[in-house]
Amino acid sequence: MSDTVTTDLVTIDEIHAAARRIAGHALRTPLLPAPWADTAGAGSDADAQLWLKAELLQPMGAFKIRGAINAIAALDPAVRAGGVLAHSSGNHAQAVALAAKFFGIDAHIVIPDNAPPRKIAATEALGATVELVPLQQRFTRPLEIQAETGKPMIPPYDDRNVIAGQGTITLEIAEEAPDVAVILVPVSGGGLISGIAAAAAAVLPNAKVIGVEPELAGDAAASFAAGEKLTWKPEQTARTIADGLRTFSVGDLPWQHIRAQVHDIITVTEDEIRDATRQLTLRAHLASEPSGAVATAAHLHHSAQLPPGKRVAIVSGGNIDPAVLRDILS
């Protein structure tokens, strides 16, 4: 999109700095070929090979560890020593909890009460203080706690350091697949796609970054089509099985990146998400959560909407509830 950008975008220098900070904590995840998906998704485009960036193999099961570590590492040490605050539906909560554990500090994390029990339990197991709130208080309650305690907030997506941390994914893709034509990225609050697009603009300028959302939580796709940031109601986004993509709108800074550096945002159906989750589990041997499978779903079911050439799908997380996995596989 070409309308004027009013916010300074995250730079490649910030992303390289993030890569240095997270080294030794976040994994360099593998880029895996998916030959089983070539025929299913390529249509008439013989070059539309799919590769999977397996971020679900991170220590806490999702890409979020990159941004969390970078944001906490960037804090003044004296401020960091007092602990941090965050809010999340699950994966960012676990990432902040683990990053705080790395730094030996406390983490107070607000989680909406419709989050998967497995993600809540995993966050508590990492030593964080978890506070469950109604979905409507996901964003207001953390601000109240911040006013009471003065602890620094580690936002899930609307933060330069978080975005820069997520952008380190692109640096790894560029080294292994410099000929990539399309990078497919799940979209929730927009931190992941912002970081990937910001880095791609510098190191993969010929690659098109395309966001993927569930139809039932398609606020970013609707915003992209309208040319303005839109907000959906909590009861709308709560309908999707992709629990990590249920945010009501993208963040302000992510929106600046999306409209300046993202080629398109498309949506996938619930059945398509389930199919991609099933295929990733059974054929790629990657037990992706539904949120992490939406990018693969775009390749499998919407190949005609995508530009030709080599594609990388970000498999963003693998913290799937066992009951959900059983249901999908059955």
What is the structure's pLDDT at 4? 45
Decide if pLDDT at 182 tops 60. Answer: yes
- Is there a single domain that holds both residue 101 and residue 191? no
What confidence category does residue 45 fall into, taking pLDDT thresholds of 50, 70 and 90? low
Domain for residue 1, yes or no? no
Decide if pLDDT at 38 tops 90. Answer: no
Residue 143: domain span: 64-149
Query: What are the CA-CA distances from residue 311 to residues 37, 52, 277 (Å)?
Result: 11, 9, 18
Decide if pLDDT at 2 tops 50. Answer: no
d(CA 39, CA 173): 23
- Is there a single domain that holds both residue 315 and residue 183? yes
- Is there a single domain that holds both residue 130 and residue 165? no
Predicted confidence (pLDDT) per residue in 241-250, tens digit: 999 899 899 9
- Is there a single domain that holds both residue 36 and residue 88? no
Domain for residue 264, yes or no? yes
- Is there a single domain that holds both residue 323 and residue 206? yes
What is the structure's pLDDT at 269? 98
Domain for residue 174, yes or no? yes
- Of 272, 270, 271, 273, the residue nearest 290 (C-alpha): 273
DSSP-derived 3-state class of residue 42: helix
Mean pLDDT for 254-263 is 98
Domain for residue 311, yes or no? yes
- Of 102, 134, 94, 154, the residue nearest 118 (C-alpha): 94
What confidence category does residue 99 fall into, taking pLDDT thresholds of 50, 70 and 90? very high
What is the structure's pLDDT at 46? 54
Q: Quickly list DSSP for 191-231.
A: HHHHHHHHHHHHH-TTPEEEEEEEGGG-HHHHHHHHTS---
* Non-local CB neighbours of 46 within 8 Å, separated by 6+ positions: none
d(CA 201, CA 187): 18
Active site residue 249: no
Q: What is the CATH number of the domain that holds 264?
A: 3.40.50.1100
Q: Which of 83-92, 177-186, 207-216 has the lowest mean pLDDT?
A: 83-92
What confidence category does residue 234 fall into, taking pLDDT thresholds of 50, 70 and 90? confident
Predicted confidence (pLDDT) per residue in 101-151, tens digit: 999 999 999 998 988 888 899 999 999 999 999 988 988 999 999 999 999
- Is there a single domain that holds both residue 188 and residue 226? yes
- Is there a single domain that holds both residue 223 and residue 247? yes
- Is there a single domain that holds both residue 145 and residue 237? no
What is the structure's pLDDT at 12? 98
- Is there a single domain that holds both residue 271 and residue 169? yes
Of 128, 149, 170, the position where a domain reaches its end is 149
d(CA 48, CA 180): 10
d(CA 21, CA 175): 19
- Is there a single domain that holds both residue 113 and residue 213? no
Query: Based on the structure, what is the number of domains in the chain?
Result: 2
Of the residues 53, 64, 119, 229, only one is catalytic, namely 64
d(CA 253, CA 194): 8
What confidence category does residue 7 fall into, taking pLDDT thresholds of 50, 70 and 90? low
Predicted confidence (pLDDT) per residue in 51-95, tens digit: 999 999 999 999 999 999 999 999 999 999 999 999 987 899 999
Domain for residue 270, yes or no? yes
State both tokens at 226: 């309208």
Of 117, 149, 181, the position where a domain reaches its end is 149
What confidence category does residue 316 fall into, taking pLDDT thresholds of 50, 70 and 90? very high
- Is there a single domain that holds both residue 40 and residue 96? no
Domain for residue 4, yes or no? no
- Of 192, 124, 134, the residue nearest 164 (C-alpha): 192
C-beta neighbour count of 31 within 10 angstroms: 16
Question: Kind and range of the H or E element at 266?
Answer: strand 264-268
pLDDT, mean over the chain: 93
Mean pLDDT for 170-177 is 98
Of the residues 53, 88, 89, 223, only one is catalytic, namely 89
- Is there a single domain that holds both residue 133 and residue 281? no
